[in-house]
């Protein structure tokens, strides 16, 4: 059996105090993807309210007290069979080691434990690594309004100028 990629790491619920730490990690971890506008948009997507109102469905990962990953997710209040992964980040030094996949698997288990059968998520069409990751995690691409490099894109889905790719994953079994 393969080792758990989260072994040796602390996985816990985030608190309001973690908000600034996560914001400080986003730009370096994304490497400036999409320029200043995209950077500002990413920061706005990670509002403190997620750390206050969705902490029990979100996860923060630390190694020796240092932030190395996070997943912000929630159970939909409007769609009782669905859960949503809102924002995820893994330190570049831990990418490719299974940390992100392990966080997703934990969220899938949490969603199933709460009677959810569907998980949804979105990403930017320019974030090819994220598109590939979601596909590898069993997500299907949802239809879009147009195709960009064989990826269905929803124009202005995240607001004016914020085109996104939508995913859905069915939790079977």
pLDDT tens digits, 48-71:
999 999 999 999 999 999 999 999
Determine the Cα–Cα distance for residues 83 and 70; give it in Å rounded to an integer: 17
Q: How far apart are CA 98 and CA 82, in angstroms?
A: 24
Residue 73 in this model has a pLDDT that exceeds 60: yes
What pLDDT, in 10s, does the model give residues 112-148? 999 999 999 999 998 899 999 999 999 999 999 999 9
Mean pLDDT of 14-30: 92
CATH number of 10-170: 3.40.630.30
Query: What is the average pLDDT across 30-50?
Result: 81
Q: How far apart, in Å, are the Cα atoms of 38 and each of 23, 30, 126, 150, 157?
A: 14, 10, 10, 22, 14
Name which of 99, 97, 22 is nearest 67 in CA terms.
22
d(CA 57, CA 111) in angstroms, rounded, equals: 9
Inform me whether the pLDDT recorded for 40 exceeds 70. Answer: yes
Domain range annotation of the chain: 10-170
Residue 58 tokens read as: 């979100």
Tokens of 86: 């809102």
Residue 3 has a pLDDT of 79
Q: What is the pLDDT of residue 2?
A: 63
**Backbone dihedral angles phi then psi of residue 154, each to the nearest 5 degrees:** -100, 110
At residue 173 the predicted structure's pLDDT band, cuts being 50, 70 and 90, is low
What's the CA gap between 15 and 33, in Å, rounded? 27
- Tokens 């914001």 sit at which residue? 23
The answer to whether the beta carbons of residues 51 and 71 sit under 8 Å apart is no
pLDDT, position 108: 98
The confidence score (pLDDT) of residue 48 equals: 92
Mean pLDDT value of segment 13-32 = 91
pLDDT for 16 beyond 80: yes
Question: Does the pLDDT at position 1 exceed 70?
Answer: no
d(CA 51, CA 49) in angstroms, rounded, equals: 5
Q: Residue 71: what pLDDT?
A: 98
């Amino acid at each position: 059996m393969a080792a758990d990629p989260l072994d040796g790491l602390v996985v816990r619920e985030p608190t309001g105090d973690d908000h600034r730490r996560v914001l400080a990690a986003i730009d370096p971890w994304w490497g400036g993807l999409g320029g200043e506008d995209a950077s500002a948009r990413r920061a706005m997507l990670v509002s403190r309210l997620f750390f206050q109102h969705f902490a029990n469905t979100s996860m923060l990962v630390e190694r020796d007290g240092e932030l190395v990953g996070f997943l912000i997710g929630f159970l939909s209040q409007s769609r009782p069979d669905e859960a949503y992964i809102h924002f995820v980040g893994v330190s570049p030094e831990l990418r490719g080691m299974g940390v992100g996949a392990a966080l997703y698997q934990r969220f899938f288990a949490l969603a199933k434990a709460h009677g959810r059968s569907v998980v949804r998520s979105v990403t930017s069409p320019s974030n090819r690594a994220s598109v590939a990751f979601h596909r590898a995690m069993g997500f299907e691409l949802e239809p879009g309004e147009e195709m960009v490099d064989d990826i269905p894109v929803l124009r202005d889905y995240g607001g004016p100028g914020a085109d996104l790719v939508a995913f859905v994953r069915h939790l079977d079994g």
